[in-house]
Amino acid sequence: MKNYEQIDYPVEVAEGIYWVGSREQGTHLYCNPYLIVEDDQAILIDGGSRSDFAKVMMKILQVGIDPKNITTLIYQHYDPDLCGSMSNLIDICENPDIKVLSTRDNKTFLSFYLHKDRLSLIENIEDYGNTFTLNKRVLRFIPTPYAHTDGSFVTFDAQTGTMFSSDLFGSFSYYKENIFFDLDSQCYTCKSIEKCPQGKEYCPILAMDQFHRKIMPCEKALHYAMDQIRKFEIDTIAPQHGNILSKRKDIDFFIDRLGSLDNVGIDGIE
């Protein structure tokens, strides 16, 4: 099996979709930017931090995309781990028609990453009817307010059934042996996630529970987000942190689990 702990190449997640992130040792939080390629044009989702910029751009070049052909940068919330390199990306793309897409609620905070003469690049997804088309590929934007910011949303690519889930379905840690993760059959009914009965070092269920209880503000926001996401026929969950889910049974399992998770955020304080 390949060792994915340090990946210096892009990984195809679904047809025309590439993970272009970084997993170098010593990093405290691993981030997952994604590149969508359609013909000779591309969209970058949650492009990454300033410190990850060089590694992300190297992987984009390895995909075979000229940065000038990146037409759109999508930011699903406004944290620096995904927005920090925004200005660098705009510089290197040298595309006068490049768009920065996010929600109206995020725009105020995104503006702090750009010089004032570039603020006009930021456009609201609401003005596009929460859909965006790259050639023939249609992306749908689904609001997930307060999961974890007021303007948070996720992005669905119907062509491949891929849900770019931002912080949802994420974790602080990750399974080191593969960028993807499949649950074992015993995991679905396990009652001892604090200590794996099979003796495995990493438990994705525990990791995901801990992440959402720490990052999400409350149960209502998380449960609402899951109610919106479960409406779609999803084949792949591509989160900003942690591992990618590519098995329908695992996806359904985690939607149900997070949709009823307790002690989330402020609800976990007595």
- Which has more pLDDT, 27 or 91? 91
Local confidence band at 25 (pLDDT 50, 70, 90 cut-offs): low
CA distance 14 to 29: 24
List the structure tokens of 252. Answer: 């359904």
Q: Which of 84-88, 182-186, 247-251, 257-261 has the lowest mean pLDDT?
A: 182-186
Burial 187-222 (b: 16+ CB within 10 A, else e): beeeeebeebeeeeeebbbbbbbebbbebbbbbebb
Render pLDDT for 213-252 as a digit per residue (tens, 0 to 9): 999 999 999 999 999 999 999 999 999 998 999 999 999 9
**pLDDT at position 24, please?**
64
What's the mean pLDDT in 147-170?
Answer: 96
Given this model, what pLDDT does residue 71 score?
95
Q: Would 184 be classed as within a structural domain?
A: yes
**In this structure, is residue 16 part of a structural domain?**
yes
| Residue 120 placed within a domain | no
CATH, residue 86: 3.60.15.10
pLDDT at position 6 = 63
The pLDDT of residue 113? 93
**What integer best gives the mean pLDDT of the chain?**
91
* The model scores a pTM over 0.95: no
pLDDT beyond 50 at 151: yes
Residue 197 has pLDDT above 80, yes or no: no
Indicate if the pLDDT at residue 21 is higher than 60.
yes
73 domain-assigned:
yes
Q: Give the pLDDT of residue 1.
A: 41
Position 2 pLDDT exceeds 70? no
In a domain, 5, yes or no: no
Amino acid, res. 26: G
Quickly list DSSP for 161-187: TEEEEETTT--SS--TT-SB----GGG
Residue 130 belongs to some domain of the structure: no
Distance in angstroms (rounded) separating the CA atoms of residues 146 and 130:
18
Rg (Cα) of the chain, in Å, rounded?
18
Domain carrying residue 42: 11-114+138-268
Give the chain's domain count.
1
Higher pLDDT, 192 or 96: 96
Assess if residue 39 is contained within a domain: yes
pLDDT tens per residue across span 207-222: 899 999 999 999 999 9
Q: Is residue 165 part of a domain?
A: yes
The answer to whether residue 28 scores a pLDDT higher than 70 is: no
Q: What is the mean pLDDT of residues 166-195?
A: 83
Q: Tell me if 76 sits within 8 A of 151, measured CB to CB.
A: no
**How do residues 32-84 score in pLDDT, each as one tens digit?**
999 999 999 999 999 999 988 999 999 999 999 999 999 999 999 999 999 99
Distances (CA, A) of 249 to 113, 171, 202, 254: 39, 19, 19, 9
